[in-house]
């Protein structure tokens, strides 16, 4: 959470690449709720996600054995017309 606000203070643009890196980082450290919150913020700010943020979320869910949430993220991605890579 703190990194996001520090980035804002520095004036770094929150674009697709920024959000994807932040989501991937949170997923790799096991902070799935923070990753989901960042994805929600991304969409709220008008940045259209591609497959990468969803892939990170789905991979984390699978590593955690959370098949139900992995499927939820997959369906959300497909529902937005985003094809898996």
Rounded CA separation 84/4 (Å): 27
Rounded CA separation 21/17 (Å): 6
Mean pLDDT of the residues in the chain: 91
What would the mean pLDDT of 30-35 be, rounded to a whole number? 94
* 49 pLDDT more than 80: yes
Q: What pLDDT, on a 0 to 100 scale, did the predictor assign at position 6? A: 63
Other Cβ atoms within 10 Å of 19 Cβ, number: 21
Residues 6+ apart with CB under 8 A from 59: 27
Q: Where are the domains of the chain?
A: 2-79
Q: Quick one: tokens of 38?
A: 């960042």
What would the mean pLDDT of 7-35 be, rounded to a whole number? 89
Q: What pLDDT, on a 0 to 100 scale, did the predictor assign at position 5? A: 55
* Contact between residue 23 and residue 53 where contact means Cβ atoms under 8 Å apart: yes
Q: What pLDDT, on a 0 to 100 scale, did the predictor assign at position 10? A: 73
């Amino acid at each position: 959470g703190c990194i996001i606000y520090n980035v804002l203070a520095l004036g770094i643009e929150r674009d697709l690449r920024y959000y994807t890196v932040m989501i991937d980082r949170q997923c790799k450290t096991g902070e799935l709720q923070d990753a989901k919150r960042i994805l929600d913020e991304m969409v709220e700010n008008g940045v259209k996600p591609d497959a990468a943020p969803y892939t990170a979320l789905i991979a984390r869910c699978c590593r955690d054995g959370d098949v139900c949430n992995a499927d939820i993220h997959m369906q959300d991605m497909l529902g937005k017309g985003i094809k898996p890579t």
